[in-house]
Amino acid sequence: MSDSARQFPAYDPADLWILDHEDIDALEIGAGILGTGGGGNPYVGKLRARQALNEGLQLSILPHQKIHDDALVVSVGGIGAPVVGVERIREGREGLRCIRALEAHLNCQVDAIACEEIGGSNAIEPLLVGAYAGMPVVDCDGMGRAFPEMQMTTYSIYGHRSTPSAMCDVHGNVVIFQHAASELWHERMARATVVSQGAGSDLASAPMRGQFVKKYGIPNSYTQAIGLGRTVRAAQKAHEDPIDAICKHERGKRLFTGKITDLKRHLQGGFVRGEVQLSGIDAQHGETGQVLIQNENLVFYHNEQMACCVPDLILVLDVDTGEAITTELLRYGQRVAIVALPCHELLRSPQALDVVGPKAFGFDDITYVPLQEV
């Protein structure tokens, strides 16, 4: 994929949105919410981003449609179990090593970074990689939320082959996946590798052309996440209900308000799997809720009836602050609101539902109905 002779500018630097500390604070909240419980702890990501800004690095976002059609864009994200991101400190430049390894392997020059998933710290990781590499991050992502497996991106769903790819860990190991027979095989091999690396690494997939990213990336993800974070902070400062503010801002629906009465959570095959049992409070006293988890919140049952499922977003929010509680931080007795948000239309096509719908997670008895139609 050598392109060293090209002459076109990949983007106009005047189009870049340079982030500041306030933007990062809002992104932490918004990415936590859009992460649907996964994507890595956003607070850890925020601390790393603050440190990068204090060191004089530039975290920049390029509008979705401003990348040149022939530019090379590489999606980057963390892979592993969310709980590991809290328990183990990152070295910090794992993602940069992934980019450089791909450039060397393919004899090419990457122009920009794309976000794999806008959820949690995986929204912030691409910004850090871009800052270290001197590249912007395109204002889009491949999920519009977080999903537990790599083939569950719109990039893969709509035709991109993720190999050759590079995975790097905190120890300095670099693994190149030269070819995978399918996107699912890529996920399986990468998952087996990340378990051997301690269940927490970075992975960069094969470069995509700008034209493809503009068509199949979920647009304006960073704009959405930062705007959502600002909405929550404004509601908090005005002593208004942040849950209502989120629902209004995102066309969402409050499904349940309750407290956690039981929690089962375990690490298996590089994933956090489990379920959360809820007992209703206030107006929903006497009612029950249940959230099923695989890194992210996948299905919500209200009074033993399915009320929302993937690919729509199921949020577990602190009932007072409106901020997300990621799956690794769920605790007995927490008072939470369950909110549903509609997913992007790119996730609702028949070919997308084959990959990210309920049956893709083993829920054969559930038929997806878009939130707008419920």
pLDDT digit string, tens, across residues 112-130 = 999 999 999 999 999 999 9
User: In this structure, what token pair is assigned to residue 171?
Assistant: 């120890």
pLDDT band at 335 (very low <50, low <70, confident <90, very high): very high
Mean pLDDT (the chain) is: 94
Q: Supply the pTM of this predicted model.
A: 0.94
Share of the chain above pLDDT 70, in %: 95
* Pair 187, 149: CB distance under 8 Å: yes
Euclidean distance between CA atoms 65 and 54, whole angstroms: 30
Selection from 78, 80, 62, 82 nearest residue 10 by Cα:
62
What is the rounded CA–CA span in Å between residue 67 and residue 138? 8
Contact present, 33 and 227 (Cβ < 8 Å) = no
- Collapsed DSSP state (helix, strand, coil) of residue 265: strand
Look at 65 and 269; give whichever has higher pLDDT. 65
Q: 312 near 366, Cβ under 8 Å?
A: no
Asked whether the predicted pLDDT for residue 191 surpasses 70, the reply is yes
Distance CA 19, CA 333 (A): 37
- Structure confidence at residue 5 as a pLDDT band (50, 70, 90): low
Task: For residues 8-32, give the mean pLDDT.
Answer: 97
Categorize the per-residue pLDDT at 266 as very low, low, confident or very high, splitting at 50, 70 and 90: confident
- Class of the CATH domain delimited by 13-222: alpha beta
Cβ atoms of 80 and 156 within 8 Å: the answer is no
> Which pLDDT does position 181 carry in this prediction?
98
pLDDT digits (tens, 9 = 90+) for 341-358: 999 999 999 999 999 999
Q: Does domain 240-373 correspond to CATH entry 2.40.390.10?
A: yes
pLDDT tops 60 at residue 1: no
Q: 294 or 162: which carries more pLDDT confidence? A: 162
Give the pLDDT confidence score for residue 272 in this predicted structure.
74
Listed range (109-113, 203-207, 291-295) with the worst mean pLDDT? 291-295
Q: Where are the domains of the chain?
A: 13-222, 240-373
Q: For the residues 210-235, what does the mean pLDDT come to? A: 98
* Least confident residue range of 41-45, 77-81, 306-310, 347-351: 77-81
Q: Is 30 helix (H, G, I), strand (E, B) or coil?
A: helix
Provide mean pLDDT across the span 244-250: 97
pLDDT at 372: 78
Predicted confidence at residue 257, as pLDDT, reads: 98
* Closest C-alpha to 348, from 310, 291, 315, 305: 310
Rounded to an integer, what distance in angstroms lies between the CA atom of residue 217 and that of residue 213?
A: 5
pLDDT at residue 327 in the model: 87
φ, ψ for residue 297, nearest 5 deg: -80, 120
Q: What is the C-alpha to C-alpha distance for residues 364 and 370, in angstroms, rounded to an integer?
A: 17
Neighbours of 194 (CB within 10 A): 23
Confidence class for position 40, pLDDT limits 50, 70, 90: confident
Does 3 score more than 60 pLDDT?
no
- Say whether pLDDT at 147 is over 80: yes
pLDDT score of 4 more than 90 = no
Residue pair 203/130 in contact (Cβ under 8 Å)? The answer is: no
